[in-house]
Structure 1
Amino acid sequence: MNRLTSLLMMSLTAGALLAGCGRNEPAPSAQTQAAPPAAAASGKIVIGLDDNFPPMGFRNEKNELVGFDIDLAREAAKRLGVEVEFKPIDWSAKEAELNGRRVDALWNGLTITEQRRQNIGFTSPYMENHQIVVVPANSAIRTKADLAGRTVGVQDGSSAVDAVQKDAVAGSIKELRKFADNVTALMDLSAGRVDAIVMDEVVGRYYTAKKPGEYQVLDDHFGTEEYGVGTRKDDTELLAKLQKAMDDMKQDGSAARISTEWFGKDIIR
């Protein structure tokens, strides 16, 4: 009798389990899981930046994030009707931060390159830039050719690295020393630990203007490049909305106004 009761209970339990699973309600698979919502539809955009990259994005004396790109991004977010959060990141790991979904966009003097286009979706360019050479005011370096046998500093992960390495002078440089940021690189330049710095013109001009007589900028440079806003390649919705916002800002003069506030003239393209 106990054995019969036991078998009956086992049968009822198995039936209950099968009924609970339900043939019409299969467990979700990896393919049926809902994808994370696109940034443009989530009500918030997280923008990754280097917070030591004036005048594009940096901290002021109150430790507030300010800058030209900060103001552009805020204006764009307002037009999209979304909240914007600025997240400082390791700029040398920017693609990993973006594609790892820790940030939704990169907006901080991001140079458009064919190599980056493989992993990043870009808006159309909104600014042109050069990779300039900054040396001490009393330096004997006058041209790129004079960098032969010298130690040259660059920000790690910046387009300056590629610009120098692709140039004919690269093989003659004694050492290409990489720094976490341009501020540290300029400190080493002033201390004589490097002979020259290659950096974005918008940043270099900003710093050299703050310390007149300490630095000089060579006429030679390492090429012209373009800045764009970067998103994940699969986030086409956010990319399209940012592009429209930027186009509208150019047409109605908002971008020109922000540019004039930071650079004294309209350098938006």
Structure 2
Amino acid sequence: MKKWLSLGIIALGLVTLAACGAKKVESGADKDTVKVGLDDTFVPMGFKDDAGKIVGFDVDLANAVFKLTDTKVDFQPIDWSLKETELANGTIDMIWNGYTVNDERKEKVTFSDTYMKNIQVLVTKKSSKIDSIEQMKGKILGAQEGSSGYSVFNDQPKVLKDEVKDQDATLYGSFSEGFLDLENGRIDGLLVDKVYAEYYLKKAGKLDEYNLIKTPYAQEEFAVGVRKDDQALADKINKGIKTLKENGEYEKIVTKWFGADAVND
């Protein structure tokens, strides 16, 4: 009798632990304050300004969307290579930082509607005389770990992977680290989002010193990533962006960060 009683207690304990482990994370749509995960070096989408304040296009857009429902936004810098893990465990409620939609990520997150287009470019120093992808043969390439650029680099090896030195890229925690090595000649090219490259080099006053070489990788689209089971939050974001586009606020934010010419791109 004692044996069966003990087994029953153990079984009950296991069921209780399983139930606790399966506890559902509260939907971001129901929260008074939501947490946005971002790479705080990704200009101009989300980054720290000279005063240490997190600013950027995505920061302004997120604030504007949640202001519509009086929801506060807490921007949480994260390790970009662990972004989906941070989302799944509830540390953040969404990934909103120039986050590219692709099939691999669709298996891990629910995406909002897309709100901006982007392409991958190969950035080289003009002084290197490398002004085409073909000239990267045997050269050292850099990329950000966990980036969409590194993903397509591996998925379409004939474009660059099979040609560059060691058939792989030197990986960085942020694009700014990659640009530092590119400037100092430790790598020969950097695979990076065009939106980042143009803004970064313009602000540094060095756009004329570098080549931004278009790659054959497909055009990308940015969207917000939420937990797989949080369609309610995705719907809330979609509704908010739609409202901002209708009332003209979205256009104002685009103009602020990219100029008037970018509105209809």
Give the TM-score taking structure 1 as reference length: 0.85
State which structure, 1 or 2, has the greater radius of gyration over its C-alpha atoms. Answer: 1
1:187 aligns with 2:180: yes
CA distance in 1, matches of 2:237, 2:141: 36
Moved over 6 A (4+): none
Unpaired segments of 5 or more residues in structure 1? Answer: 1-26
Residue 127 of structure 1 corresponds to 116
**Residues 1:67 and 1:145: Cα distance change in structure 2 (over 3 Å):** same
Give the TM-score taking structure 2 as reference length: 0.86
Kept in 2: contact 1:188–1:194 (CA 8 A): yes
**Residues 1:216 and 1:34: Cα distance change in structure 2 (over 3 Å):** closer
Deviation at 1:221, TM superposition (A): 5.1
Residue 193 of structure 2 corresponds to 200
CA distance in 1, matches of 2:18, 2:219: 48
Residue 209 of structure 2 corresponds to 214
Residue 145 of structure 1 corresponds to 134
Map 1:1-269 to 2 at 5 A. Answer: 30=19, 35-167=24-156, 168-169=158-159, 170-174=161-165, 175-210=168-203, 211-212=205-206, 213-220=208-215, 222-265=217-260, 266-267=262-263
Unpaired segments of 5 or more residues in structure 2? Answer: 1-15
Kept in 1: contact 2:120–2:215 (CA 8 A): no
CA RMSD of aligned residues (A): 2.0
> CA deviation digits over 1:124-146, x for unaligned, max 9?
11000000111012122121111
Aligned amino acid, residue 173 of structure 1: V
**Residues 1:268 and 1:77: Cα distance change in structure 2 (over 3 Å):** farther
Kept in 1: contact 2:63–2:73 (CA 8 A): yes
CA distance in 2, matches of 1:58, 1:139: 29
The 3-state SS of whatever aligns with 2:218 is strand
The 3-state SS of whatever aligns with 2:219 is strand
The 3-state SS of whatever aligns with 2:65 is helix
Count the aligned residue pairs.
242
CA distance in 1, matches of 2:23, 2:38: 29
Deviation at 1:36, TM superposition (A): 4.0
